[in-house]
Amino acid sequence: MARKKIIAGNWKMNMTPSQAVELVNTLKPLVVNDEVDVVFCVPAIDIIPAMEAARGTNIQIGAENMYFEEKGAFTGEIAPGMLTEVGVKYVIIGHSERREYFAETDETVNRKVLKAFEHGITPIICCGESLTQREQGITIDWIRQQIKIAFLNVTAEQAASAVIAYEPIWAIGTGKVATTEQAQEVCKAIRDCIAEIYDEATAAAIRIQYGGSVSASSAPELFAQPDIDGGLVGGASLKPDFGAIVNYK
Number of residues near ligand PEP (by CB under 6 A): 14
Task: Report whether 80 contacts 115 (CB < 8 A).
Answer: yes
Of 84, 81, 66, 163, the C-alpha closest to 123 is 163
Three-state SS annotation for 77-140: CCCHHHHHHCCCCEEEECCHHHHHHCCCCHHHHHHHHHHHHHCCCEEEEEECCCHHHHHHCCHH
Instruction: List phi, psi (to 5°) of 27.
Output: -85, -25
Cβ of residue 178: shortest distance to ligand PEP, in angstroms? 11
The helix (H) or strand (E) run that includes residue 9 is strand 5-10
Residue nearest to ligand PEP (CB): 234
Annotated active-site residue in 97, 104, 129, 167? 167
Cβ of residue 214: shortest distance to ligand PEP, in angstroms? 5
SS3 assignment, position 53 = helix
Binding of residue 213 to ligand PEP (CB under 6 A): yes
Range in contact with ligand PEP (rule: CB under 6 A) among 56-64, 146-154, 216-224, 228-236:
228-236
- Quote the CA–CA distance of 61 and 80 in Å, as a whole number: 14
SS3 assignment, position 233 = strand
Among 43, 94, 230, 235, binds ligand PEP (CB under 6 A): 235
Cβ of residue 208: shortest distance to ligand PEP, in angstroms? 14
Task: Report whether 48 contacts 87 (CB < 8 A).
Answer: no
Cβ of residue 124: shortest distance to ligand PEP, in angstroms? 9
Q: Which is nearer to ligand PEP, 59 or 126 (CB)?
A: 126
Please confirm, yes or no, whether 167 is among the known catalytic residues: yes
Binding of residue 214 to ligand PEP (CB under 6 A): yes
Q: Which is nearer to ligand PEP, 14 or 33 (CB)?
A: 14
Binding of residue 10 to ligand PEP (CB under 6 A): yes
Annotated active-site residue in 64, 95, 97, 104? 95
Q: Which is nearer to ligand PEP, 59 or 245 (CB)?
A: 245
Q: Which is nearer to ligand PEP, 72 or 175 (CB)?
A: 175
The helix (H) or strand (E) run that includes residue 232 is strand 230-233
Exposed, middle or buried by CB within 10 Å (0-12, 13-18, 19+), for 84? Answer: middle
Binding mask 142-171 for ligand PEP (x = CB under 6 A): -------------------------x----
SS3 content of the chain, % helix, strand, coil (to 5): 45, 15, 40
Please confirm, yes or no, whether 95 is among the known catalytic residues: yes
| Catalytic residue positions, numbered | 95, 167
Sites of contact with ligand PEP (CB under 6 A): 10, 12, 167, 172-173, 211-214, 232-236
